[in-house]
Amino acid sequence: MQTTSIEQETLIQDFLPLNGTDHVEFYVGNAKQSAHYYKTAFGFSTVAYAGPETGLRDRASYVLQQGKIRLILTTPLKSDSPIMEHIKQHGDGVKILALWVDDAYKSYEETIKRGARSYQEPQTLKDEFGEVRTAGIYTYGETIHLFVERKNYTGAFMPGYIAVEGGYQPTSTGLLYIDHCVGNVGWNRMNEAVQWYEDVMGFKNILSFDDKQINTEYSALMSKVMSNKNGYVKFPINEPAEGKKKSQIEEYLEFYEGEGVQHIAVATHDIIATVREMKVRGVEFLSAPPKAYYDTLLERVGKIDEDIAPLQELGILVDHDEEGYLLQIFTKLVQDRPTLFFEIIQRKGAQSFGAGNFKALFESLEREQELRGNL
Ligand code: FE2
């Protein structure tokens, strides 16, 4: 009976309760310069640092923050570093999607028990501000989920890092928190990855798009959105689909040389102000869809609070679902390899991902792909 199964469902305890995203760590060729880009262009501030000055011999890491978003930019100092190997293969990219938990040891134990591959055994790091406990498992490609428990810690980031205050700290552009992080996986790998998130992490598949919904004249892809139980963490997973030409997912897999994070969506409460400010600071966004997109916008999505003119001027896309609407825009690539980019999103009730914009978005992406000779 239905009621029984719903009751049972609510009685089943979440074996992996998550409080949200703790941080995203990038491995990059020059963390000092990357940090400058994310600070100047995106509006992050440096809050912590670890490197030779703090006793590390093999790497330097800059911890940047804006709202609840924490990015770590890490670079190796020597050629024999495993971080260098990662960069050699993948270029600059996301290594760690860290999840904020109340019990890192238990998170590790529960996921390992369900088949996760270990990246880092649980450890407790201590300094004068308390302790942080971490443990890590592999997800798709060489990407890691690090469980971070910081309930007994009051320092700037975690033991091993020193707090950074003052110096060059540009103003925020209004970015608030990470809405979702998207992974690209190889041919016929999406369902395997989805199954992994269900079995190992206790996530649910909340939305699916097939190649008939996500296609242009030239290329196609499939996507499934995975969410943890409380909805604080969402990981859409893409795989390429057959089309007349090479899809953006194939281009990613070729140039990242494997599976990995495709885009990070960050939320704002005022997308027009945020995007306008980011453009002034040099962030490049995908070109706006044709005028017809805005001429028919209100017919498509219903009444919205924003004026159409600034949305059209900036190239911001709008989509709706049963619960409301959302505004979104995508940056161009943030490194030379055609791999990672960002999405800026403002939700006005809608909990979906802009499926109504997929076509406009992918046509815009294909124009870029064409310029690179990769379509
Ligand atoms: Fe997205």
Residue 98: which of 122, 70, 62 has the closest Cα? 70
| Distance in angstroms (rounded) separating the CA atoms of residues 197 and 201 | 5
Dist. CA 319 → ligand 1 center (Å):
12
Distance of CA 175 to the CA centre of its chain: 13
User: Which residues make Cβ contacts (< 8 Å) with residue 174, sequence separation at least 6?
Assistant: 43, 268, 269, 270, 273, 274, 277
Taking the centre of ligand 1 as the mean of its atom positions, its distance from the CA of residue 307, in whole angstroms, is: 23
Cα–ligand 1 centroid distance for 258 (angstroms): 20
Going 39 to 62 to 97 to 94, the CA torsion angle's sign is positive
Task: Single out the residue in 163, 193, 224 at which a domain terminates.
Answer: 163
How close is the Cα of 207 to the center of ligand 1, in Å?
Answer: 13
What secondary structure letter does DSSP report for 207?
Answer: E
Structural domain including 210 reads 175-372
Residue at which a domain ends, from 163, 196, 224:
163
Say whether both 87 and 207 belong to one domain. Answer: no
Say if 170 falls within a structural domain: no
Give the chain's end-to-end CA distance (angstroms, integer). Answer: 51
- Look at residues 117, 143, 163 and tell me which one is the last residue of a structural domain: 163
9 belongs to a structural domain: no
Q: Is the dihedral of CA 29, 35, 36, 41 positive or negative?
A: positive
Count other C-beta atoms under 10 Å from residue 187's C-beta. Answer: 12
Residue 3 lies in a domain: no
Overall domain count for the chain:
2
Q: Is there a single domain that holds both residue 154 and residue 294?
A: no
In the reported structure, the alpha carbon of residue 301 is separated from the centroid of ligand 1 by a whole-number distance in angstroms of 18
The structure's pTM equals 0.94
Taking the centre of ligand 1 as the mean of its atom positions, its distance from the CA of residue 154, in whole angstroms, is 32
Distance (angstroms) between ligand 1 centre and the Cα of 263 equals 7
What does the pLDDT profile of the chain (375 residues) look like in tens digits?
A: 444 555 555 557 899 999 999 999 999 999 999 999 999 999 999 999 999 999 999 999 999 999 999 999 999 999 999 999 999 999 999 999 999 999 999 999 999 999 999 999 999 999 999 999 999 999 999 999 999 999 999 999 999 999 999 999 999 999 999 999 999 999 999 999 999 999 999 999 999 988 887 778 777 889 999 999 999 999 999 999 888 888 889 999 999 999 999 999 999 999 999 999 999 999 999 998 989 999 999 999 999 999 999 999 999 999 999 999 999 999 999 999 999 999 999 999 999 888 888 877 888 888 889 899 988
In a domain, 102, yes or no: yes
- 87 alpha carbon to ligand 1 midpoint, in Å? 24
Same domain, 98 and 221: no
CA of 234 to the centre of ligand 1 (A): 10
Are residue 244 and residue 346 in the same domain, yes or no? yes
198: phi then psi, degrees, rounded to nearest 5 = -70, -50
Q: How far is the CA of 343 from the centre of ligand 1 (A)?
A: 6
* Whether 103 and 211 share a structural domain: no
Asked, for residue 69, whether it belongs to a domain, the answer is yes
Handedness of CA 277, 332, 267, 99 (dihedral sign): negative
